[in-house]
Each structure stands twice: as C-alpha cells, then as structure tokens.
Structure 1
Amino acid sequence: MIEKMHDKTNSLGFKIIFGLVAVSFVLGGVGGTLIYSKDDYVAKVNGESISQQTFNYTKNRQQSIQSERLGAEFWDLLDTTEFAAQFNQQVLTGLVDDELLKQYIQTLNLGVSAEQIKLAIVNNPQFQQDGKFNNEFYQNVLRNNNISPDYYASMVAGDVLNAQIQEGILGSQFSVPVQDQQSAKLLLQQRVIRTATLSLAKEVEKQTASTEELQGYYDEHKAQFITPEKMQVEIVTVTPEDVADASSISDQDVEDYYQQNRDKFITKGERHLAHIQVADKKTADEVEQKLNAGEDFAKLAKTYSKDMISAQKGGDLGWAKAGVFPVVFDQVADVLEVGKPSKAVEIDGNFHIIKVLDRKADVGMSLEQAKAQIKQTLLKNNSLAEYGKISNEMANKAFESPDSLTDVAKVAGLKVKTTEEFSLDNIPSLLANPKIQNVLVKDEFRRGRQVSEAIDLTDGDKAKTAFIRVINNKPAHEQSFAEAKSMVEQQVKIAKAQKVLTEKAQAALTALNSGNSTDVTFSQPQTLVYIQGLSQQPQLTKTVFAMKKEADKVGYQVINDQQGNAVIVALDKVEEGNKESFKAVKAALSQADLLQLREEMLSDLRNRATIEYNEEFLRQQEP
C-alpha cells in the first residue's frame, strides 16, 4: 500500500500528515531512546523496544497536558476504570505509531547532522533577542521547562527530519487538471432553489382526539410513558479550611519553626557557570592539561565542547541557582573557587570541566520577615493534620450510624445540605462531581438509603472529602393513563397532523409537476453550494443535489425538516463549479482527508510490522 501511495503523497493532506508526525516526534520524544534504556520494554516494534520508562514518562506528561487543559475534571475522569484504561491504551498506541513512523522514515535514508540542529536552534526566533540568538535566554527557557539540552536537540532533530521529508518526498507535488475540474464541478456546483414550508405545528393545532383514540394509543405504547426514578440526597463535605484554627498557632510555635528550618529562609545566591563537555576521559584529560598549561578556558570550550550552544559563548551557561543542573554538577560547583576550573567529572555518560565565573551571596530572611509565611505554613500543616483526623472520625461515624448523615456532620461541626428531588439524568450542581455520581448510579446504594463511605474529592493540593445519603427514593414506574394523558394526546395529534401534512404536500407536488396552480407560497430564490451546504444544511443539501433537473423545467420534491415540517423544494437552476474557484478550497479539502490518510498509512505499517507487547507490565497498569 505504501508503495502505491504516490497519488496521496502528492496531496497537501499527506504533507500535513507528516507535519503531525513531526509534532508527534517532538512531543512524544524522538529522543526517547536517547534517554531511557530498552531493557524493560512495554512493546517491541520490529524488534525495537519501547521502554517502560518511556511509557511512564509519556503517560505522566500527557496527564499534565490534559490536566492543564481540563483541570480537576480530568483527574476525576482518570479515577474511572473505563477512562483510565482508554487513556493508557491511547498512550501506548501513540508510542507504537511513533516507532512505526520513525522506522519508516529511517528506510528513506534521511539523516540530521549536528550542524543542522545547531543552525535550527540558533535561528529559532523564540531564542532571539534584538534579532540575535541569546544563549542565556535559551538556557533559561530549557530549565524552566525541565528540558535538557541533549533532549531538546533530539526534539529539534525530529523537526529537521520532517523538513527533509517535506522537501525530499513531498516536494514533487503534482495535480491532474482533469481531476481538479471534476472536483470543481461536483463540490462547487450551485443550485438555485425556492422552498415552501407546510407547518406541522399549525396542523397539530387543528387536530382533535377522542378518549377512545387516546386510550388505544396509550395501550399500544405504554413502554414509552415512564416516569424516571426520583430521589433526594443529603451531602456534607469537609476541607482543611473547615477545621483550620489560626488561634492554635502561638508566637513560640513560629519561632521554633524558624530556628529549626533556618535553611528554608535563605535564598541561595546564584552562580555564573561555564563548562566544557566532552565525550570521553581521554579528551577530558587533554583539555585539563591545556588548562593547567594556562590556555584560555573560553577558547578551549569553543574548540572541544560538545554542548554546541554554550560552546559558542566560551562554555558560558549563564546565571543559575542550585538545583537547575544535575546533583553532581551542583556539588562540584558549590565547592569551586571563582575562576578556577574543576577536574573532569562524569555526568550522564559525558565528562564536564566546570568553572564558576562569579557568585552572588546568599540572602536570609529575619524572623520578623518570615513570620507571616511561617504562620501560614503551620496553619496549613495543622489544618491538614486535623482534616485527616476529622475525616477519619467522620468515616467511622458513618460506619457506626449509617442511617444519619447529621451525626456524621456533627463530628466536624458542619451542616448537612439537601437537594431538591431529581432524576439521574438531571443531577443538581451540588452533586456535580464524577466521583459522587459514580456512587449514585449504584442501585444498591440508592435503595439502601445509608450514608456512603468517604468520597475523596481532592483536586490537586485542595483536599476535600464528601459523604452522601439518599433520603427519598421513588423507583421508576410506568405512568398511568391519567398521568400520561397530556403527552399521549400530543403524540396522537402529531401523528394525525403528519399524515395530513404528507397528503397535502403530495397533492401540491402532483399539481406542480403537472403545471397546475397550488395555494402554497414559495420563498425567494436561494443558492446552495454543495460543499458549504453539507456543513450548514446537510439534510436539505443532500436532497437538493440528488434531484434531477430537466432542461427548461423546474424540478420539485418534498422533504421533512428537523421540526417535522413538510418542505416542498423547487429546483430552478444548476450551475457547475469551475476550476479557478476550486483552487481556493483545495487546501481545505486536503486537510479534511488528513486523519483518514494518516490512519491508512499507520494501518498498513502495523499490518507489515511485528509488534510484541509486555502483557505482564500492561496488566500492572490496569486501573
């Protein structure tokens, strides 16, 4: 199939696919195999391992992305078994897709050099200030996003590789004029129509129904007339704020905390760092010898350092606080004298010679300056501890007194809230949480009318626990004739009105096709364009463009709209689309095929591939 995709690779849609592939590599990690070992795999694609570490890393990162997008709702969804399983499967599928695409790209013999990566980074406007590349700004961006230079380089490599694919494989785009002309004729065809609407609502108003008719309809359709289950629910929630007691924090508590945690109130001074990164001990020794002989650190960094970005600046990494770099790197920098380079130290398979160019002094807060901050910390700690204690006591009380939520609420000095009567398809906002709803949908809980177990509603660092109880439960039941009468009457009248409307519309259609006059009134002419109409008025468009148009004769047809009205359509004129107009929408049409094309290609790659899954590991991931 891949060998036969020449027609599809020449479409803009296929180019966009590879744009997605690049994004997938950038986000999913071209450098995934550069960071993690392959010993413990989650899947093997044609013998190439996808590590468990890569799976966990990608899963955690996707959770963070979705959490930022959906907030607490995402974590509530992730607590449900079905959603969690689907989420894990999507992560795994994405990683397998990435590996399939990466292997396919490798068969094209495309490569990325260090110079290409360097130029791509240096020329990236996001890292430029005043039109020039700023290394310190670049380094800060990476640190703030917890991305190492090596990993970012692998991300850029994916982007450069995608550009090569765009030029090498997709640059030979061609189009067949005949195909464009045919597409234009169909997709941009215009049809001028008029419509006459026969109102269902007005016809319903004219109808009557006897008691016998209503009873007969009810007897035949009893299953349609059901009153859903109704209930009332009590709820009480508790948070750390509910049990917080500021008066419990004394001045002595504040001072004791300050003395015991002095280091927390000291802002570590920044260090202006530089380094020379080399691949092996032999090169590191060579650089050390040159430094000991008095050669310039900056010049040696430009000559030897593998860190291409800092090398341009003589190894300069800019100002950084402790914790930005790996622990070993920080430990060496902490004990270095300003201006004196370190011995070579091995970090993550590379050797680094580190130099502190300058250092800022630590800055400490006085007790008075730290007092308000400490009080907040102690209050939070105390309230969290009290919250844990109270919520446990409430859970115990719920077990001891399952028939009284009031007793549970009294443990924390809280009040019980009660909902209005509702059904499960209209849950009130007070209970609008998936975890609460997961409890409510259980039949045995609703029928038991006992206090629930503690329901953890914690959202991020905002702890919260709820207890609920159904106090009034009315089972779903079949409505009696008296209860359903008004709805039955309405449905009988609608059925009668639809029959009358159909007869009127057909009579009008017969008259119009015969050239006779009718009492229907048509609207002003309107023009439908096929490609626009499909999204704006799909039902009408499909009907209109399926109608036959005889020369010099108006065509007529009847359809029913979404409101049940009978609509008589008069087709007055047909105009074919032209090739010039088609050019403006061709790109958008190609994008519409994007997902289908990508799935077709991945499906073919999967069919050709040998994919092995680590079933034991996957079972461990099951919710």
Structure 2
Amino acid sequence: MLERIREGSQGIAAKVILGLVILTFAISGIGSYINSKADTAVKTVNGVEITQTAVEEAFQNERNRMKQQFGDVVEQLMADESYVANFRQGIVDKLVVEELQRQQAKDLGIRVSDEQIKKAIVAMPEFQRNGQFDNEVYLALLRQAGFTPTQFRDYLRQQMVRSQYTASLMGSEFVLEHEKEQYAALNNQTRTFLQVLVSSKALESNVELTEEDIQAYYDNNKFSYKTADKVAVEYILIDAQKLAEAVAVSAEQLEEYYEQNIVEFTKQEQRRIAHILVEAKEGAEEKINQAKEKLASGESFASVAAEFSEDTFSAENGGDLEWFEAGVFGEAFDQAVLALEKAGDVTPVFESESGFHIVKMTEYEKAESASFEDVKAQIASQLQQLKIDELYIEAQTKVSEISFEIPDTLEDAAEVAGLELKTTGLVTANQLQGIVSSPSVVSKAFDENFISEGLNSELIEINDTKSIVFRVTENQPARVQQLEEIRTPITVALTREKASELASKKALEVEEKVKAGAELAELNADPAVTTSNQIDVGRFDTKVNANVRDAVFELPKPENGQPEYDLVELPNGDAAVVSLTSVTTKPALVEAPVSNQVLNVIGQQAVKALIDASKANADIE
C-alpha cells in the first residue's frame, strides 16, 4: 500500500493538489499572523510604548503587595469599580514617570554595573539564611514571585538606576542657615481657633427626595453603577510541590545511585601552582635560565618570580596561579604540571605557547570520595527532585494532550492526569485569587475571542513549578444596571449629597453669625452644630481633623485682634467654620534632623519640578 501511495504522489495531479494545500496553509498562517491580537500600547512616552501587559503586571504586583500589607480589606476596596479605575490610572501615571526617569537617567549616563547588581542581591536580607546569602532561598523566592534570575536582575537594575537618578537630584540641593531657622520656627508654630462643625448626618432627616430627583441622579451617574465583566472558570493546576508529596525514595535506590555516580561525589586531586614566565623573544632562554640559577642557589620562588616573571599580575603574588585547571595554558604546560608529585616540586624549564616557564606546585590535595552516609541526604534530595521533574513533565504532557484532543471540557484531562479540576464562581478580574490571578491568566480569561470560543486554553507556565490549563465556563458581560436594581444605593448617595449641600449652606449662615459675635450657646442650640475651642494646635496635631488643621495653617496671621475666617468642606459631607484668633511662634533650635527635613523637602520639590517639566516637554500620547 505504501508503494502505491509513493507512486501516486509522483503524478502531476498529486503535485498540483499538494501545492494548493501548501498555499492554503501559507495564506491561513499569514492571515492568522496579521489578525493576531497585538499587545496594545496604553501610553507612549517619547516613542517608547507602555503596553497593556505592562500595566496589568504592575497592577497585579501592586495589588498583591497591598494585600500582603493590609490583608482582606484590599479585596473590599477592589470591589469598588471607581476605586479600581483611580488605582489603575495611578499605576499608568507611575509607569509614565518611571519611563521618563529611565530616559533621563540614560541621557545623563547613569549606569549600574553587574557587580553592583550582584552586591545588592547578596546584601538583601530576604535572600539570606543565618546572615549569609543563600542561592537556594534566592531562587525559591524568585520562583514564588514569578521572576527568572535574568528578569529580576533587569528589574533591580532599573530600580537602582532610578534611585541613583533621584539621589543625584536631591543630593545637588543645599539649605542656607536662615532657611533652616525659618523652617524650625514654622515647624513649631501653634494656632488657637474656634471650630464650628455642621454635621451633614444630622441634616439627612431634612432631605426630601422626589422621583424626579432620583431619576435625574440615575441618568447623570448610571455609568458609575456599571457592572464589571465577570467570568467563571474551571482549571487544572499542575503544581510540582503537590506532586512532591507522592514521591518517595528507597534506601536501595539511594545506594544504587551512589555506586553508579561515585565520580559525582569524588573530590578530584588538586594542584595549586606558581610559575615564572618569560615570553618567547630574543634573550628569553637566557633570562629563564638566570631565574633557574637563582632558584638553584636557594632564593625563594616568590622573590625570583617577582624579579623575572613577565606575567606581572601573578608576579606580584609570588607567581601564584591558584588552583591548576587543565587546558588553560596548553598541552605542554599541562604535561609539566601533572608530572609534579608533591608540594614543593619544581619543573625544569619548558616551553609552551605563551613562552618559557618554570612551575612550582605549592599545594597538593589528593582525590577523595565522600562516604555514602555523608552524601545520603544530598542524593535523596537529587533523586526526589528528578522524580518530581519527571512527574511534572508527565502531568503537563497528559493535560496538554487531552485538553487539546477534547477542547470543550477539562474533566477528561483532569481524570487522566489524576489532578483536581477546580472551579471559580462568577468573578471580576480583580476578584480572581490565587493562581488564576496571574496576569497571563487574567489577560486570557477576559479576552473576548477566547470567551466566545469556549475552548480550553493552551498550557500556561506561571513559573518553574506551576502551570495551568483553564477554560471559561460562564461569562456575564458588563452592563449598566437598571434603576430599580440600584434604587437603594442611589437613594443613600443622593441623600448624603443633598445633606452635604445643606451642611455647606448652614455653615455659611453660621459663619455670618460668628462674625457678628454670636454666643457659643446660641450656636450649640442647633442640633446639627457643634462648637469647640482648639488651643495651641500644632502643625501636625492629630486632635483635630487634618483638613481643618491644614486650612487653619493656610490662613494669614490675625492683625489688630481681628480673627481670620474660613469655611472647610470635609470629605464626609460635613462643613466646618474656623475662626483663627492667635498664632504663637515658639523658639526652636536648629538641629541636624531639622536640617535634614528641610533638605529632604527641597530635594523632593526639585524632583517633582523636574518630573512636571519633563511631562510638559515630553511627547506623551
């Protein structure tokens, strides 16, 4: 049959058909390439793109950092769509600034060497064990964070360059003595004032809402109540650490491995050598023989090497070449060194590709095999890791093959691979947790084309030890909610808004009364009003509302006994009237911390000014 197929394939008709098939696949491939979804640019900064993927990764990293720091409260914040929008915009702005700083640092010639990167990594306490850098800890933590060593070094290099850039700007600033004195005086200044607080909560009972008010508020704000796109996914997680639980290594396997790989546990013989080198040129033989005579007369090898050797680097160290490694200086050199039997032996003069040599063996360590008991734990770890790697690759292969062959469910793949099929409920992108919150998974899960296909994803490697295959089982597209669905939250929000307006209006009335000299008892008669005298409030005191305190310190100093007034609208809807009556400046010593504070403030202002100027002059789209 194969012979008939071979004969048939040589005909003209078969070749034409084969050509058409090849052309079809070529056109299909080109079309797929052209129509493939590119990683779109969110911003371009002087022609450099900040991609959607970069924003998503930065978003997820910052979200995870906040979650580690603040716990579950972060998830509650992330459920607020307006908060997420502001949070994401902040991420974009930060990436723009970082890109501007990177470009400026490059223009200024700021560089960070590989040696600096290495020293920084070794000094990081998170990579240390018992006060010493531990490479295994380093690699494990990088895997957990989703970094490869190269990616982490690049990330650290960017951070260090920006740090040097900022430090160079701040370090160029200076502070004059009178500036320090002014800062110290302002820093220790206190202010006394009357605070009249109008509570919006107390005025909510005065608010009357009509159906027209509610409808108008809904029409003006309905997009703020738009639901987020939601998906439900099922997935198979392949986790090498979970597979490790099923791996066991027997004592027989350990002994067998030791016997078959004894070379691996044998410390080869080592020779530490020093040499005298005279490069091959006219008079070289005479010079090397002079060195030989000096040695024969009893002079130390180190002193002769310092005098005669033309290998200046080793000559400064008595000719020391440290531990011998075959193949570095050529075959003649290797033969001469390997002929030395014990420490102190010296070769006769010989010639290599580099010139004429005399070599001394300064130390010798014979080959020695470690005992089975000494390396038993190491072998167990190696064998276990080998088995884990085998199981991990096997599981990846099974899941990939079955999920491709049966593309509309993962049940079969999970069953064949012996892994758990996990599911999530309908969640937004910000509500995905654990392994499915990885940027690569989130991006795929909310891709419209992937959702519409309803098929299994390809195998996605999250890091060196975790990979995943998933599919979207249900999708709830984003939509604007109807009024009846959100009538209660709209009523609450509108009531607060109108109560805040009433509070501001009443505060204006109160301000006029205060200016007219109204008694505190008269003001306190209103259940929505509370008065308090604030005595000697400092610039950083926490006993009063920060917005009120900042407004008071922005007022000019009262002149001729006449108070200064201001009305402050607070974020919670309340309104406050302040009447500043006196300002007290206390004498202050200019100490080192004060100088540093002033310098830090001036430096930060310089950095901010440069960033603002850079944004204004940059081509940002």
TM-score, scaled to structure 2: 0.60
CA contact (8 A) 1:217 1:488 kept: yes
Counterparts of 1:213-612 in structure 2, within 5 Å, are 213-240=213-240, 254=254, 257-268=257-268, 290-297=294-301, 337-340=342-345, 356-367=361-372, 370=375, 373-459=378-464, 463-517=465-519, 518-519=523-524, 520-530=529-539, 532=540, 539-551=547-559, 552-576=561-585, 578=587, 580-581=589-590, 584-594=593-603
CA contact (8 A) 1:513 1:555 kept: no
Indicate how the Cα distance of structure 1 residues 465 and 430 shifts in structure 2: closer, same or farther if over 3 A, else same: closer
CA contact (8 A) 1:452 1:468 kept: yes
| Residue 146 of structure 2: aligned partner | 76
Separation in 2 of the partners of 1:95 and 1:513? 52
Q: How big is the shift at 1:475?
A: 0.9
Separation in 2 of the partners of 1:465 and 1:512? 69
Indicate how the Cα distance of structure 1 residues 448 and 190 shifts in structure 2: closer, same or farther if over 3 A, else same: farther
Q: Which amino acid aligns with 1:413?
A: G
Secondary structure at the counterpart of residue 338 of structure 1: coil
| Residues 193-216 of structure 1, C-alpha deviations (whole Å, 9 max, x = no match) | 453433333333553423343233
Q: Which amino acid aligns with 2:597?
A: A
| Residues 121-175 of structure 1, C-alpha deviations (whole Å, 9 max, x = no match) | xxxxxxxxxxxxxxxxxxxxxxxxxxxxxxxxxxxxxxxxxxxxx9xxx9xx997
| Residue 9 of structure 1: aligned partner | none
Indicate how the Cα distance of structure 1 residues 321 and 544 shifts in structure 2: closer, same or farther if over 3 A, else same: farther
Indicate how the Cα distance of structure 1 residues 511 and 222 shifts in structure 2: closer, same or farther if over 3 A, else same: same
**Does 441-450 or 362-371 show the bigger shift?**
362-371
Separation in 1 of the partners of 2:411 and 2:515? 75
Larger radius of gyration: 2
Secondary structure at the counterpart of residue 522 of structure 1: strand
Q: How big is the shift at 1:396?
A: 2.1
Secondary structure at the counterpart of residue 521 of structure 1: strand
Q: Which amino acid aligns with 1:549?
A: K
CA contact (8 A) 1:267 1:363 kept: yes
| Residues 176-226 of structure 1, C-alpha deviations (whole Å, 9 max, x = no match) | 544444444445543334534333333335534233432332233322221
Q: Which amino acid aligns with 1:503?
A: K
Indicate how the Cα distance of structure 1 residues 343 and 370 shifts in structure 2: closer, same or farther if over 3 A, else same: same
Q: How big is the shift at 1:474?
A: 0.9
| Residue 198 of structure 2: aligned partner | 198
Indicate how the Cα distance of structure 1 residues 49 and 509 shifts in structure 2: closer, same or farther if over 3 A, else same: closer
CA contact (8 A) 1:236 1:416 kept: yes
| Residue 23 of structure 1: aligned partner | none
CA contact (8 A) 2:146 2:463 kept: no
Separation in 1 of the partners of 2:581 and 2:109? 63
CA contact (8 A) 1:55 1:91 kept: no
Listed as ranges, the gaps of 5+ residues in structure 2 are: 1-105, 128-137, 614-621
Q: Which amino acid aligns with 1:432?
A: S
Indicate how the Cα distance of structure 1 residues 299 and 592 shifts in structure 2: closer, same or farther if over 3 A, else same: farther
Indicate how the Cα distance of structure 1 residues 541 and 310 shifts in structure 2: closer, same or farther if over 3 A, else same: farther
Separation in 1 of the partners of 2:482 and 2:554? 46
Secondary structure at the counterpart of residue 532 of structure 2: coil
| Residue 6 of structure 1: aligned partner | none
Separation in 2 of the partners of 1:287 and 1:195? 95
Q: How big is the shift at 1:327?
A: 6.4
Separation in 2 of the partners of 1:352 and 1:190? 83
- Matching residue within 140, 158, 172 for 1:90: 158
Q: How big is the shift at 1:414?
A: 0.9
Separation in 1 of the partners of 2:313 and 2:603? 37
Secondary structure at the counterpart of residue 554 of structure 2: coil
| Residues 207-257 of structure 1, C-alpha deviations (whole Å, 9 max, x = no match) | 342334323322333222212222222121113455569789777765554
Matched-pair identity in %: 23
Q: Which amino acid aligns with 1:90?
A: Q
What RMSD in Å do the two structures reach over aligned CA positions? 5.6
| Residue 98 of structure 2: aligned partner | none
Separation in 2 of the partners of 1:276 and 1:289? 15
Q: How big is the shift at 1:479?
A: 0.7
Q: Which amino acid aligns with 1:558?
A: L
Counterparts of 1:138-149 in structure 2, within 5 Å, are none
CA contact (8 A) 2:181 2:590 kept: no
Separation in 1 of the partners of 2:211 and 2:493? 14
Indicate how the Cα distance of structure 1 residues 61 and 420 shifts in structure 2: closer, same or farther if over 3 A, else same: farther
Listed as ranges, the gaps of 5+ residues in structure 1 are: 1-44, 102-165, 605-623
How many pairs align?
A: 474
Q: How big is the shift at 1:275?
A: 5.5
Secondary structure at the counterpart of residue 380 of structure 1: helix
CA contact (8 A) 1:200 1:498 kept: yes
Separation in 1 of the partners of 2:458 and 2:562? 74
